[in-house]
Amino acid sequence: MKTLKKVGFVVAALALSLLSIPQSKAQTTSNAAAVSMTFAVNSSLTVAATPGSIVFTSTAPNTATASSAITVVTSWNLATGGGNVFTVAYFASISAALTNGIVNIPTSEVFASINGGSAAACTLANVNVAAANPGAICPQIFGGIGVAAQGTHSDTLLLSLTSATAFPASTSSYAGAITISAQAT
């Protein structure tokens, strides 16, 4: 009986030792599958201008002021930093910034004040324009030299009209458009 008890004890001990073998030794592992990932971010350069329209009010027979300043926000996300960003405003025609269809108000009579600075006539010629053949250009709105790769810059553009003579009275309103654009180099 003692032998039977000893054999039973040994069998029980072996059975318990088999139960304590870690189950991880019984697992199988698969191969590792790799997935390539790409993410392309293109360079961007945008200009926003508000308000979308302004009205000139005559302050004298030969002067007029705009109803509000134009807020110009230039934003960029460039492939590399240290580039240059230029924002300008220009007219399609030198001879007609505003017209009533018969009489034109030339760009030489349109003045621009940038960020509260002195007003200057919109008669400049400048290569920092992202347009094919602009007419007269106003003073540069923003000139960021060596800018960071990402950024935003806000400026104000206040337009006024000044003529050596009185503006011709018209039975219809004078109308025109100014284009604001940016270029990164």
* Tens-digit pLDDT profile for residues 14-37: 555 555 555 556 788 899 999 999
Q: Which residues contact 36 (CB under 8 A, 6 or more apart)?
A: none
Residue 160 within a domain: yes
Pairing mode, strands 110-114 and 98-99: unpaired
pLDDT tens string 75-121: 999 987 778 999 999 998 889 999 999 999 999 999 999 999 999 99
Cα separation of 97 and 66, whole Å?
14
In the predicted structure, residue 49 carries a pLDDT above the cut 70:
yes
Residue 7 within a domain: no
Residue 2 within a domain: no
Polymer length in residues for the chain: 185
Cα separation of 111 and 183, whole Å?
22
Residue 53 within a domain: yes
Q: What is the pTM of this model?
A: 0.77
pLDDT tens string 167-181: 988 878 999 999 999
pLDDT at 169: 86
CATH number at residue 49: 2.60.40
Q: Residue 176 in contact with residue 99, Cβ under 8 Å? A: yes
Residue 4 within a domain: no
Range of the domain at 70: 44-184
Cα separation of 98 and 170, whole Å?
12
Residue 28 within a domain: no
Q: In total, how many domains does the chain have?
A: 1
